[in-house]
């Protein structure tokens, strides 16, 4: 059996890669992909701990809900990015500064 800590280390590495993408990327679609990596890391954590919960399956259940919510979030975010592209002619989040105070 694979020990629990190995899953946790893999998910920590995935999470940090996603964080790096979110911080440094200049493209909204790549930022979205970084967020997807972070969500996958957290699902891996939930699923790894869910091995010790055979009766209730809480971890796997929440993993399913997270997958569904991430899909919904990606759909809405892509629509917003397309609208932003139509309006600003760029999908760099730094260039859309009409709301800057």
Partner 1 sequence: MNLAQVIFYILTAITIGSAAFVVLSQHLVRSVFMLFVTLFAVAGLYVFALADFVALTQIVIYVGGVLVLLLFAFLLSSKESLEGMEKIPSGLLSAHRLPGALISVLFLAVLGFIFFQIDFENLNWIKASVANGNVISVSDNTIRNIGINLMSKYLLPLEIVSILLMMVLIGAAHIARKEPKAS
How many residues of this chain interact with partner 1, rule: CB under 8 A? 68
d(CA 41, CA 38) in angstroms, rounded, equals: 5
Show contacts with partner 1 in window 57-86 (CB under 8 A).
57, 59-61, 63-65, 67-72, 74-76, 78-83, 85
d(CA 50, CA 68) in angstroms, rounded, equals: 18
Site track for partner 1 across 19-48, x = CB under 8 A: xxx-xx-xx-xx-xxx-xx--x--xx--xx
Q: Check residue 89 and report its DSSP letter.
A: S
**Closer CB to partner 1, 86 or 100, in the complex:** 86
Min CB(86)–partner 1 separation in Å: 9
The terminus-to-terminus CA distance of the chain in angstroms comes to 55
Min CB(99)–partner 1 separation in Å: 17
Local structure of 3: helix, strand or coil: coil
């Amino acid at each position: 059996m694979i020990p629990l800590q190995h899953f946790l280390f893999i998910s920590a590495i995935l999470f940090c890669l996603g964080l790096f993408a979110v911080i440094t990327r200049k493209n909204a679609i790549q930022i979205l992909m970084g967020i997807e990596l972070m969500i996958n890391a957290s699902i891996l954590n939930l699923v790894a701990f869910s091995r010790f919960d055979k009766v209730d399956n809480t971890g796997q259940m929440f993993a399913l809900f997270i997958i569904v919510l991430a899909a919904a979030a990606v759909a809405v975010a892509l629509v917003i990015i397309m609208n932003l592209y139509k309006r600003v002619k760029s999908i760099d989040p730094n260039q859309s500064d009409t709301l800057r105070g």
